[in-house]
């Protein structure tokens, strides 16, 4: 080092965070939280799957915080798309839906963590940092349940018929509950309406439903969060 030359302190590069949620207040709230954290930077937001995939490609985030329900879009499908198109982006799910039902599904789809919106800002930040560190982040209760299944083949919880649905069937079931017709579901999934009808029949069989009306009613109740299935 030449005489009189000062050592420069290394500049810490903040990890880049992108948020996908169809509620503006949620996106703004996370942006506000991150504004006071020097090692995390809010770099973009989206409210739909197509917008998210376009902007993630532009923003190049390190982590995407993704809701499971994005209007008429599927957050579960978005997770799979991100893992295929942007494998370097880590994913943390932030959702109001039941962690006990969804956590393992989102982990299989490619997310690295699950936080409920009721958990608070500290848990969201902790979850972001954990997935950035390539660790799995779920609640202690969920981690115990997963470990119990791995070690003993069960977790003491009674299985729900909903657990038998594949991810594709779950997506279709939820779209049915939102009033999306089969033709539109087929267009979203790039499959034929006949294939959608086959999925509907499989869902009915797995859930023990006899008629299309029963399927629609149960799907609506599931989306509203008051299903007894």
Among 68-82, 140-154, 186-200, where is mean pLDDT lowest?
A: 140-154
Residues 6+ apart with CB under 8 A from 58: 44
Multiple choice CATH, 161-224, 3.40.50.1220, 3.40.50.720, 1.10.10.10, 1.10.340.30 = 1.10.10.10
In this prediction, residue 6 has a pLDDT band, given cuts at 50, 70 and 90, of low
Whole-number pLDDT of residue 83: 96
Higher pLDDT, 155 or 175: 175
The domain segmentation of the chain, as residue ranges, is 15-149, 161-224
CB atoms within 10 A of CB 29: 16
Question: Would you say residue 7 has pLDDT above 70?
Answer: no
Render pLDDT for 123-133 as a digit per residue (tens, 0 to 9).
Answer: 999 999 999 99
Question: Phi/psi at 11 (nearest 5 deg)?
Answer: -90, 125
Contact between 177 and 222 (Cβ < 8 Å): yes
The residues pairing with 194 across neighbouring beta strands, listed in sequence order, are none
pLDDT of residue 139: 87
What does pTM read for this prediction?
0.85
Q: What is the mean pLDDT of residues 174-186?
A: 93
pLDDT at 2 over 70: no
Residue 3 pLDDT class (50, 70, 90 cuts)? low
- Which pLDDT does position 129 carry in this prediction? 96
- pLDDT tens sequence across 84-101: 999 999 999 999 888 888
Q: At residue 107, what are phi and psi to the nearest 5 degrees? A: -65, -40
> Can 15-149 and 161-224 be said to share one CATH topology?
no
CA distance 229 to 223: 12
Mean pLDDT, rounded, of the chain: 89
Give the model confidence (pLDDT) of 40-64 as tens digits: 999 999 999 999 999 999 999 999 9
Share of the chain above pLDDT 70, in %: 89
Residue keyed to tokens 């279709």: 172
- Note the CATH number of domain 15-149: 3.40.50.2300
First to last CA, the chain: 71
Distance (Å, whole) CA 101 – CA 160 = 9
| pLDDT for 47 | 95
Residues 209-228 pLDDT 10s:
999 999 999 999 998 876 66
- Give the strand pairing for 63-66 and 15-20: parallel
* pLDDT of 62: 98
pLDDT in tens, 23-41: 999 999 999 999 989 999 9
């Amino acid at each position: 080092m030449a005489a009189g030359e000062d050592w420069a302190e290394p500049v810490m590069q903040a990890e880049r965070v992108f948020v996908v949620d169809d509620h503006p207040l949620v996106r703004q709230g996370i942006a506000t939280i991150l504004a006071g954290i020097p090692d995390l930077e809010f770099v973009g937001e989206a409210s739909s799957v197509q917008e998210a995939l376009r902007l993630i490609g532009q923003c190049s985030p390190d982590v995407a915080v993704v809701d499971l329900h994005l209007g008429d879009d599927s957050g579960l499908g978005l997770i799979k798309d991100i893992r295929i198109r942007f494998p370097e982006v880590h994913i943390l799910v932030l959702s109001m839906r039941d962690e006990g039902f969804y956590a393992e599904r989102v982990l299989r789809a490619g997310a690295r963590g699950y936080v409920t919106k009721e958990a608070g800002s500290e848990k969201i930040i902790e979850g972001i940092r954990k997935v950035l560190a390539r660790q799995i982040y779920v609640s202690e209760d969920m981690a115990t349940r997963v470990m119990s299944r791995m070690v003993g083949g069960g977790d003491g919880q009674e299985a729900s018929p909903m657990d038998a649905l594949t991810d594709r069937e779950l997506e279709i079931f939820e779209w049915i509950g939102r009033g999306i017709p089969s033709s539109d579901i087929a267009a979203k999934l790039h499959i034929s309406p006949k294939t959608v009808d086959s999925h509907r029949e499989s869902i009915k069989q797995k859930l023990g439903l006899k008629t299309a009306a029963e399927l629609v009613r149960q799907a609506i109740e599931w989306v509203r969060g008051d299903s007894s299935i």
